[in-house]
Structure 1
Amino acid sequence: MENEVYIEKLINSLKNRLDKNSALYRNTYFGKVVLSKVKFYLACTDEELKKNSSIPLPVDYLQFLKISNGAELFTDDYKGSRALLELYSLDKIFEGKNFCVNNLKIEDTYPIGHLLDNAD
């Protein structure tokens, strides 16, 4: 319950900062100010979460999925119009799992996101 409240407050705080186009101004690593879009998806249903309960996801991430089944955070033109952080949906988690098994030969890994390394 404590995690659920924290995650919900964090997401609502970010949503409250967004303008009507789901964007906000943020600072880049070197101090530039850029307009970035934020995209949250529809929440997972309890049925979807129960169906996929075999996935060993962190409690915080399960709480996030109850609010948004994935998100693209801070998409802008500063570094190529890709989200700086993508938090995966359940479907994308399975895609990542399949990639790990088939290409990397890693069995017990469930990727939950991708952080774009700008390497400035």
Structure 2
Amino acid sequence: MKKPGDRVKQTIYSLKKRFDDGNIIQMQTEEGYLYNATCTFNPPATDAEIAHFEQETEFILPKDYKEFLKITNGCSLFDDVEYGGEIDLYSLEEILKRNQGYDEYEGCYDIAYIYQDNIVIHSTCISQNEGNYLFWKGHIDQFDEARPLESNFELWVDRFVVCQGAKFWWWPIYTSANEDKLKGKGL
């Protein structure tokens, strides 16, 4: 039986292996766009740093997310070598910085920024033993506007890596009938 965090360990270790020693890998995104990408991984967080963060913030960190932090305390994924990127999974320090000054919505905090979307952990879901505690919202939206991803962190990060950084949570809204119209509106 798998333990919480086993999938995140396998996913992140495999991704790190692909990008060892500054490797650059050609990626393909939607509509056939190709680019050369790299990933940058921060040093891991210690158990003491994670415990201190939880005490200081009173945020509840789920077990699978703690395992991620023990591998890399934040990272930048699938950055275009030529143009940069906007896929940042925050370090503990960045979570503190990014979540200061919010009109807090009970137990929610941003853990990532992905091309104008934020990935949000909802602590109340964790404290109520709900497995689907991950949400997403536009980066200027309030927490009460966040929409469920129907996922925990390790399922989300596994899918995100398999999709090579594509915002797969947007895919259901695009159909062959409305894709051009939605993209014209910037969605």
- Taking structure 2 as the reference length, what is the TM-score of the superposition? 0.54
Post-superposition offset of 1:96: 1.5
Aligned residues: 114
- Residue identity (%): 28
AA aligned opposite 1:96: R
Determine the structure 1 residue equivalent to 2:84. Answer: 81
1:77–1:30: structure 2 CA closer, same or farther, 3 Å change rule? farther
In the TM superposition, residue 99 of structure 1 has moved relative to its aligned partner by 3.8
1:54-103 per-residue CA deviation (whole Å, 9 max, x = no partner) reads 3222322111001110000011157x4123x2100001101121042xxx
For 2:94, the aligned partner's letter is K
Q: Contact 2:38/2:81 (CA < 8 Å) preserved in 1?
A: no
Letter of the 1:56 partner, please give it: I
SS of the equivalent of 1:36 reads strand
User: SS in structure 1 opposite 2:61?
Assistant: coil
Aligned to 1:10: 11
Q: Which runs of 5+ in 1 are unaligned?
A: none
Conserved in 2, the CA contact under 8 Å of 1:22 and 1:39? no
Distance 1:94 1:74 in 2: 24
Of the structure 1 ranges 29-38 and 87-96, higher mean CA displacement relative to structure 2 is found in: 29-38
* 2:113 is equivalent to residue 110 of structure 1: no
CA distance in 1, matches of 2:22, 2:5: 27
Q: Which residue of 2 aligns with 1:29?
A: 30
CA gap of 1:76–1:62, structure 2 versus 1, over 3 A, is same
Structure number with the bigger relative contact order (C-alpha 8 A, sep ≥ 6) is: 1
1:66 correspondence with 2:70: yes
Give the residue type in structure 2 aligned to 1:70: G
List runs of 5+ in structure 2 lacking aligned partners. Answer: 117-166, 168-185
Report deviation, 1:3: 2.3
The 3-state SS of whatever aligns with 1:39 is: strand
Q: C-alpha offsets along residues 32-70 of structure 1, whole Å, 9 cap, x if unaligned?
A: 221111011000011101111232223221110011100
Q: TM-score under structure 1 normalisation?
A: 0.80
Aligned partners of 1:43 and 1:110: how far apart in 2? 20
